[in-house]
Structure 1
Amino acid sequence: MNILIVEDESRIAKRIERMTHDIFGDTLQSLKRINTLQEALKFIESNALDLVLLDLNLNGSNGFSLLTTAVSKSFHTIIISAYKDQAITAFEYGVLDFVPKPFNRERLEQALNRVIKKEKTETNAVKFLAVKKRHKVQLIPIEDVIYVKGAGAYTELFLVNGKKELHDKSLEKLEQLLSRFFVRIHKSYLVKMSEVKEISVESGSKYMAELKNGERLPIGRTKYKDIKAKWF
């Protein structure tokens, strides 16, 4: 695990660092601590990361300007902040968890375990998926996404307007964030169940989901019964 802590209060940053070391143990490869927004942005752009622990107020700078960039990346983001009123907005942007300050080890461990155990989020507040478009980040409304296809380390978002966008997160990471909206019907597909028109069994025991837009996607053999139950 390669982790970045973005926190401007030295005492709190050291505490997060110490707890993170203890919780991840030998799986921790690198742990970097940064206290300014601009330095954090530069580090994120030039380093491979698995997780960012982000405060939303950095010496008076709004951490949301970093958050929009962070959530478009391949890693998960966990907010650690005293601004509890911003939790809903943070979840809408696609963070894995929001740890309110003051926090104890148990609460931080709960958040980090979502990364370690690949637990799905318990909230259904995600409203956007952030994608990189040239030198800016574009927020794609969840309501515009029909299904998501795995593309190696990346994913492709298929939209209602017929377009598709590339996202830096893997299918597994997006499944963690989107479990209330989308169902994993196949090793390569996450589908919004409200977009499924028909489920069928074809010759050769092939299971298929026909979407309202006419597209047809495969359903994994081991997932068919569960998918059919959720569809009905």
Structure 2
Amino acid sequence: MNQEVTRPTTGLIAEDEAPQRRALHELLRQLWPDLQLVAVCEDGVAALEAVERCGPDIAFLDIRMPGVGGLDVARAVVAQGGLVVFITAHDDHAVSAFETGAIDYLLKPLQPLRLERAVARLQQRLALARQPDVQSLIDELETRLRPAAEHRVRWISASIGDSVSMIGIDEVLYFQAQDKYLRVVTATTEALIRTPLKELLAGLDPDQFWQVHRGVAVRVSAVARVRRDELGRLSILLKQRPETLPVSATFAHRFRGM
């Protein structure tokens, strides 16, 4: 007699703090031994790549990772039909407002009883035939958690040759990693800074600058069009520069519907 083989539930952890990452990994092994963890990631870029590669059913995401945060990863997870649990150090209304079966949250330091309750909710939600549409909830959460305008980067102090220039953030078309530096490119000039891209992104307006590659962030309004080649790879053509910029598969979801 043939018996139906049930596919194991798969999960992903993305947490940039090693002690929290280890604690969550160990607690999940105890509370949900049947959960198959397909990836345990130290940052959002690795998590996005793992989502594209593995399509986990559930993702436990630190909401405030440098560079690519939990919200960007959550969008990719939800687009593939997965569920999300955010990890945060702050119990504020922005997070607690979304304590639902589809988007839950855990406070740091992690508490076994709270995680056990989240696991029970996830198991109940997974048993439903139809998953809710939570993209709008993620959009609202991003709005509530967005840094205040006064804390965003307004000026870049960058090296041009043997001098230092002040470049207004409104002039910048894109940033691109180059060896140990970050290129700051405007319509007419290029300069170098030592700030890592993931650190700089934390101070940029996410509505104005999108990370499109592990080493590239582009001003959305500077994009003329997005081109797809015969292999399905995307590249960006700019309005004011002749070069094209690569879009990795990890960030291709940003241009769906464009």
TM (norm. structure 2) is 0.43
Give the strand-richer structure, 1 or 2: 1
| Structure of higher CA gyration radius | 2
